[in-house]
């Protein structure tokens, strides 16, 4: 019954997001940070992460997902241009990054749109720009010059910007879920990371 009630709340939330003008709805969102690298940096085991992915939830139990986003900083984009992206083979992507880095913009959003019928089922449900086929993206990444690296405070500020842009809400609180202990993080770092980096 609780889950059904949450679904009703979610449908109401979507309706208000689309149709409201001055209705205040959200005060807090909950997020899950995907990569362990964030926590390695947060606990001082290595340099802080410069790119990650976050899932935003309406509820602490993570029953209702509001959005999933990639978040990438300027240093990470600069590294991509210098070391990983081929200027010829990946010309469009290369030029998009280069254009943003040279611009006066602090934030840029890049979108991946459906490539086939299966992808059409994976379009985001929240607000997002559509392409020429009237399809919403399947994935959205934020590029930002406002943060050089990710820590807890910078992640929270970034999420507030995402919520404002794509959910049309001004939230005052962002709570991070699933925070590992230092012992858990150190164990993961030693077993899954340290052995594979110089």
Average pLDDT, the chain: 89
Per-residue confidence (pLDDT) for residue 18, from 0 to 100: 47
Residue with the two structure tokens 């594979």? 196
Q: What is the end-to-end Cα distance of the chain in Å, rounded?
A: 52
pTM of the model: 0.84
pLDDT at 16 over 70: no
- DSSP-assigned states of every residue in 124-135: -SS-----TTSP
pLDDT at 198 over 80: no
Per-residue confidence (pLDDT) for residue 72, from 0 to 100: 97
pLDDT at 7 over 70: no
Q: Which residues are CB-neighbours of 50 under 8 A, at least 6 positions away?
A: 72, 73, 75, 76, 79, 148, 149, 150
DSSP-derived letter for residue 1 is -
pLDDT per residue as tens digits for the range 42-84: 999 999 999 999 999 999 999 999 999 999 999 999 999 999 9
Is residue 64 within 8 A of residue 126, CB to CB? The reply is no
Q: Distance between CA 17 and CA 152 in Å, rounded?
A: 27
pLDDT at 197 over 90: no
Q: Which residues are CB-neighbours of 74 under 8 A, at least 6 positions away?
A: 101, 143, 144, 145, 148
β-pair partners for 121: none
> What's the average model confidence in pLDDT over 113-123?
92
> What's the average model confidence in pLDDT over 172-190?
97
3-state secondary structure of 119: helix
């Amino acid at each position: 019954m609780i889950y059904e009630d949450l679904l009703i709340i979610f449908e109401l939330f979507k309706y208000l997001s689309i149709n409201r003008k001055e209705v205040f709805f959200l005060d807090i969102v909950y997020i899950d940070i995907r990569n362990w690298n964030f926590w390695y940096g947060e606990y001082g085991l290595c340099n802080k992460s410069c790119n990650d992915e976050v899932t935003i939830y309406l509820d602490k139990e993570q029953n209702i997902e509001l959005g999933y986003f990639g978040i990438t900083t300027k240093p990470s984009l600069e590294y991509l241009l210098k070391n990983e992206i081929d200027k010829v083979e990946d010309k469009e992507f290369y030029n998009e990054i280069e254009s943003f880095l040279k611009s006066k913009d602090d934030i840029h959003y890049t979108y991946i749109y459906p490539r086939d019928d299966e992808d059409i089922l994976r379009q985001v449900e929240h607000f997002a720009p559509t392409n020429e086929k009237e399809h919403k993206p399947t994935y959205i990444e934020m590029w930002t010059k406002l943060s050089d690296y990710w820590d807890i405070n910078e992640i929270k500020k970034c999420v507030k910007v995402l919520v404002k842009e794509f959910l049309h809400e001004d939230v005052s609180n962002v709570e991070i879920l699933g925070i590992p202990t230092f012992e858990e993080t150190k164990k993961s770092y030693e077993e899954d990371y340290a052995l594979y980096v110089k």
